[in-house]
Amino acid sequence: MKICLATNNKHKVDEIRNVLGKNYEILTLKEMGCEEELPETGNTLEANSLEKAQYIFNKYRLACIADDSGLEIMGLGLKPGVDSAHYAGPQRNADDNINLVLNQLKGINDRSAVFKTVITYIDSYGVSKQFVGIVEGNILEEKLGNNGFGYDPIFLPSGFTKTFAEMVQEEKNSISHRSRALVLFHQFLSDKVGM
């Protein structure tokens, strides 16, 4: 089964292919010939995920999934949230984003946070469905680890002693917000098409 993935982010592509397995041919935007920036005008992760999926489906008429992920920090009023990728500016630099978060958290006791992913699936049979994955944790005072991407070096998932960036990919994939949403999506597809 072919599914277009509305991203060119190599980390996301690897994680999604790893979770879904070999029964699905996952095509990136680049492989589809899509070079333009996808719209993200919503003020929630759900709205952005749906907007991207609708855009790709309407253009290519191929089953597609789009995700939007964000880090919600309680002590910052659930920020950066939907602005996670460009929290420190349009350059979308992970180090800049992390440094801004750490500066804003100085003097704030509540460092609890959730990583949240919303995946939207749309296909030519008229199915449109969203799947949500959440991981609870805390924000550290400094970066630890060199794996992963985004805010992984400062996010310590609850019940673990390593940040996402200190985990190997298989370990992170087993508990990550994206993998939790993908597991729900995979179960849905398996039930739907018998894979």
pLDDT digits (tens, 9 = 90+) for 138-159: 999 999 999 988 999 999 999 9
Band of pLDDT at residue 195, cut at 50, 70 and 90: very low
Number of domains in the chain: 1
- Rounded Cα–Cα distance for residues 191 and 35 (Å): 33
**Residue 68 among the catalytic residues:** yes
- Whichever domain contains 24, its CATH number is 3.90.950.10
User: Are 165 and 143 within 8 A, CB to CB?
Assistant: yes
Q: How crowded is residue 45: how many other Cβ atoms within 10 Å of its Cβ?
A: 24
87 vs 23, higher pLDDT: 87
The domain in which residue 109 lies consists of 2-193
- Report residue 170's pLDDT band, with 50, 70 and 90 as the boundaries: confident
d(CA 127, CA 122): 5
pLDDT band at 193 (very low <50, low <70, confident <90, very high): low
Catalytic member of 67, 68, 123, 152: 68
pTM of the complete model: 0.89
What would the mean pLDDT of 110-123 be, rounded to a whole number? Answer: 96
Q: What DSSP state is assigned to residue 47?
A: H
Q: Are residues 64 and 5 in contact, defined by beta-carbon separation less than 8 angstroms?
A: yes
Q: What is the mean pLDDT of residues 157-174?
A: 93
Output 191 or 183, whichever has higher pLDDT: 183
Q: Burial-class residue 30 by CB neighbours within 10 Å (0-12, 13-18, 19+).
A: exposed
CB atoms within 10 A of CB 1: 12
Statement: residue 173 has pLDDT above 90? no
Highest mean pLDDT among 33-37, 90-94, 131-135: 131-135
Could you tell me which residues are beta bridge partners of residue 80?
72
Reported as a pLDDT band with limits 50, 70 and 90, residue 54 is: very high
pLDDT number for residue 46: 95
Closest to 169 in 3D by CA, of 148, 143, 146, 144: 148
